[in-house]
């Protein structure tokens, strides 16, 4: 098993107010079933995803949203903290004044107080055509048209919101759920797509651990040679891209657009969209070893077919 250093570059480390007493790379094994569905318009994104979890009789999933339209819509951005109880925080709530043209989104769906909850970072353009990326508020953001979604159902484990002593936030973390059973319902109306059952791994990465190196270690722990990233919601301390570009503002939020891990060649591709606290959107592939997590990163690794 490889060992992941928790010591990022000195200028890229975040000091949170609480002690770090848990494993900084938390994992849980689960069978995963990927299906394609349609989120129906007129619902909040929380209502729409809750209905899909109920349909398949699971507690948790990760998802990739395709293009769509959101209105009404509310969101927050990453922000500096003025409260000593938090190292970083959120902005005030922004309300869309016109429909948002959703281009893509990454979603974690799980449990909060034993009820469905979700964490969604998305990329969109506003009515003036300006590109945005941010954290959509699930109970206040509505689907204004039907939206296709790739949904990876978690059959044996779930993401559950729990208090995090280190950051003082309540965060999604992996929990084993052995009593769950899945209903293999119909897939979407896309061209025929086979059900894709695979033994995956839920992953949550804590602050000050490099995002890509953490995924290599998660694969090592579960003897995975290579895997695709499903979902992918989180934040990093600024960013360094593999083409040399850097994001200087340290408070960010990101979504993984495409991810792949090859443990045998020690290569990780994390193609992300990111917004920093100045409101600037950056996109590209993160450089391995140079991108420590800010607050959390959560996703599912699904092994590539043998």
pLDDT over 90 (residue 254): yes
**What is the 3-class SS of 230-294, one letter each residue?**
EEEEEEECCEEECCCCEECCCCEEEEEEEEEEECCCCEEEEEEEEEECCCCEEEEEECCCCCEEE
Task: Please check whether residue 5 lies inside any domain of the structure.
Answer: no
Please name the residues in contact with 58: beta carbons below 8 A apart, sequence gap of 6 or more.
153, 154, 155, 158, 180, 182
Task: Please check whether residue 129 lies inside any domain of the structure.
Answer: yes
Task: Please check whether residue 4 lies inside any domain of the structure.
Answer: no
Distance CA 276, CA 260 (A): 24
CATH of the domain at 281: 3.30.1330.80
Task: Please check whether residue 262 lies inside any domain of the structure.
Answer: yes
Write out the two tokens for 297.
């990163």
Please name the residues in contact with 294: beta carbons below 8 A apart, sequence gap of 6 or more.
14, 88, 207, 234, 235, 236, 237, 250, 251, 252
pLDDT in tens, 208-220: 999 999 999 999 9
Residue with tokens 């965060």: 171
* Average of per-residue pLDDT across 170-179: 86
Task: Please check whether residue 284 lies inside any domain of the structure.
Answer: yes
Among the residue ranges 40-49, 96-105, 146-155, 183-192, the one predicted with the least confidence is 183-192
* Beta-sheet strands, E only, within 127-225: 131-136, 147-154, 157-163, 170-176, 196-205
Q: Which whole-number Å values give the CA distances from 129 to 67, 101, 102, 103, 125, in the listed order?
A: 15, 9, 11, 12, 5
Alpha-carbon torsion, ordered 101, 107, 110, 113, to 10 deg: -50
What domain range is 142 assigned to? 10-303
- Structural element, H or E, at residue 125: strand 115-125
CA atoms within 13 A on the CB side of 157: 23
Q: What angle do CA 268, 136, 157 make, to 5 degrees?
A: 55
Distance CA 277, CA 248 (A): 10
Instruction: Assign 148 to helix, strand or coil.
Output: strand
Asked whether the beta carbons of 285 and 270 are under 8 A apart, the reply is yes
Task: Please check whether residue 2 lies inside any domain of the structure.
Answer: no
Asked whether the beta carbons of 222 and 27 are under 8 A apart, the reply is yes
pTM of the model: 0.92
Distance CA 275, CA 101 (A): 17
Task: Please check whether residue 140 lies inside any domain of the structure.
Answer: yes
Task: Please check whether residue 297 lies inside any domain of the structure.
Answer: yes
Which pLDDT score, from 0 to 100, does residue 255 have?
98
Which pLDDT score, from 0 to 100, does residue 305 have?
87
- What's the total number of domains in the chain? 1
pLDDT in tens, 280-305: 999 999 999 999 999 999 999 999 98
Instruction: Assign 212 to helix, strand or coil.
Output: helix
């Amino acid at each position: 098993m490889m060992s992941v250093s928790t010591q990022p570059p000195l200028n890229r480390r975040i000091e949170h107010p609480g002690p770090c007493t848990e494993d900084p790379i938390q994992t849980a094994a689960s069978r995963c079933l990927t299906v394609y569905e349609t989120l129906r318009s007129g619902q909040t994104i929380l209502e729409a995803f809750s209905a899909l979890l109920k349909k398949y009789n699971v507690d948790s999933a990760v998802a990739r949203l395709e293009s769509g339209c959101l209105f009404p819509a509310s969101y927050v951005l990453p922000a500096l903290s003025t409260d000593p109880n938090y190292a970083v925080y959120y902005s005030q709530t922004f309300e869309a004044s016109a429909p948002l043209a959703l281009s893509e989104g990454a979603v974690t769906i799980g449990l909060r107080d034993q009820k469905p909850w979700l964490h969604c970072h998305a990329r969109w353009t506003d009515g003036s055509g300006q590109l945005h990326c941010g954290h959509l508020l699930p109970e206040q953001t509505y689907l204004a048209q039907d939206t296709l979604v790739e949904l990876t159902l978690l059959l044996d484990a779930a993401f559950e919101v729990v208090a995090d002593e280190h950051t003082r936030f309540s965060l999604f973390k992996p929990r084993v759920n052995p009593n769950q059973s899945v209903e293999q319902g119909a897939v979407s109306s896309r061209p025929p797509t086979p059900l894709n059952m695979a033994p995956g791994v839920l992953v949550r990465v804590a602050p000050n651990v490099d995002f890509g190196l953490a995924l290599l270690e998660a694969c090592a722990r579960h003897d995975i040679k290579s895997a695709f990233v499903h979902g992918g919601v989180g934040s990093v301390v600024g960013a360094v891209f593999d083409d040399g570009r850097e994001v200087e503002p340290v408070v960010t939020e990101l979504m993984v657009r495409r991810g792949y891990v090859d443990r045998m060649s020690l290569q990780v591709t994390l193609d992300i969209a990111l917004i920093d606290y100045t409101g600037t959107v950056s996109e590209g592939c993160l450089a391995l070893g140079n991108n420590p997590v800010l607050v959390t990163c959560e996703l599912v690794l699904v092994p590539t077919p043998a």
